[in-house]
Structures are given as C-alpha cells and as structure tokens.
Structure 1
C-alpha cells in the first residue's frame, strides 16, 4: 500500500506526523497535544497517551513520542514509517536551525 506522510515540527516542541493512506482519517498520527500536555499516538479509534513535561526539549519530546509508538499496538509497517518520519523531521529541523538543542 502507498502512504503519504504529512508532517509539521517546530523548535518549540510541537510535532504532528500524519501517515495517510488515501482515507478520510490518517492511518497513523503521532502528535503533541499542547492543550492537554500529552504526546499521543492515534491509530483508527485507538489512542495512546503519555503525559509530557513542559520543560522537555524537542529531542526529549520526540523520544517520548517514539517510545510511545513502540508501545502502541499498531502495524509494524506504520510504526516504522511513523518513527522514520519523526526522525527525519527532527533531523531536518536541526540542520536548518543549528541553534536548536536537543
């Protein structure tokens, strides 16, 4: 199956990774929930959440999101795509903005 990856990441710790398969809803979503103070993984009607520390760096937030993706009961193909997209976004942000620290 072909997937499309939509991503947004900011130096301030906001992360949104959507793995899209052509349906109305993302097949997988890795995100920070700023209003509730969590990192979360969404797959279908299932949600996995972990409380995030507001003092975490971007690297710590991304690591918590990656760890949560490994704990979530999701297909391995989607997990691999989601974590790879997260790693690529963080790496790309660090390359573009060298003042950001992990």
Structure 2
C-alpha cells in the first residue's frame, strides 16, 4: 500500500544541543513543502532562520534584522523548495559557521523525512 506525501506525518519540531553548546537547532519540515529551520542561541533567540513563507509565497533566510527572499513557485516540490532555500542561504551575507550549521540542519531534516517517507511506502 503506497502513501502519498499528503498522508505522511510531518516531522515535528525538535531541538537538540549542538556539540559546541553555543547553538540549538529547531526544525520542522512537512511533506507538503513547509520548512522552518531555526538556529537558536543559548537563550533560545533565533540567530538564523531558513523558512517558507506560506502567506506571501516566498522562501526566506533571516539573520538579525536582514532578510533575503525569493518568490516560490506554487508547483515546486519539497525538493525544489529546499534547493531554493539552500541556494538563497549560499547567496546571503551570513557568517560561515551559521551558514554551515543552517544548511547541515536543512539537509539532516530532509534526509530524516525522506527516510520516514520511504519506510512508510515500503
């Protein structure tokens, strides 16, 4: 029995302390294309956010008071949306350590979601 992406459970937010103990990662990815990756400081304040803005139809990267946005196509798959966020984070003027951490969190969350979807359809 096969399961569509719409029927699969979303990956619920999770927080974990990174090895350097300076940042936490909060992530949410749904098979429907919603993405929220936040890198939080030790006091749970966001220092980097990679997200989809459903109401405005954009993908965006937030760092401090700066925002980088690009218009999203409503026909994009989850992979297309993630790739747009990945490209946008590379173009944004971010500290290298935060960029690396944000992109690793995005990749890790997508890998876990894909594994869950694959096991649900097996």
**Bin for the TM-score computed over the shorter chain:** over 0.9
**TM-score (structure 1 length as normaliser):** 0.93
Per-residue CA deviations over 1:30-50 (Å, capped at 9, x if unaligned) read 000000000000000000000
Looking at structure 1, the residues matched to 26 and 49 of structure 2 have their Cα atoms a distance apart, in angstroms, of 10
Aligned pair count reads: 100
**TM-score (structure 2 length as normaliser):** 0.78
Name the structure 1 match of 2:91.
71
- Measured after TM superposition, the shift of residue 27 of structure 1 is 0.6
Greater C-alpha Rg: 2
Looking at structure 1, the residues matched to 44 and 36 of structure 2 have their Cα atoms a distance apart, in angstroms, of 17
Structure 2's unaligned 5+ residue stretches are 1-19
SS of equivalent residue, structure 1 residue 97: helix
Structure 1's unaligned 5+ residue stretches are none
Over the aligned positions, Cα root-mean-square deviation in angstroms equals 1.6
Per-residue CA deviations over 1:58-92 (Å, capped at 9, x if unaligned) read 00100000000000001000000000000011110
SS of equivalent residue, structure 1 residue 27: strand
Looking at structure 2, the residues matched to 45 and 99 of structure 1 have their Cα atoms a distance apart, in angstroms, of 40
- Does 1:86 find its partner at 2:102? no
Which ranges of 4 or more aligned residues in structure 1 deviate by more than 6 Å? none
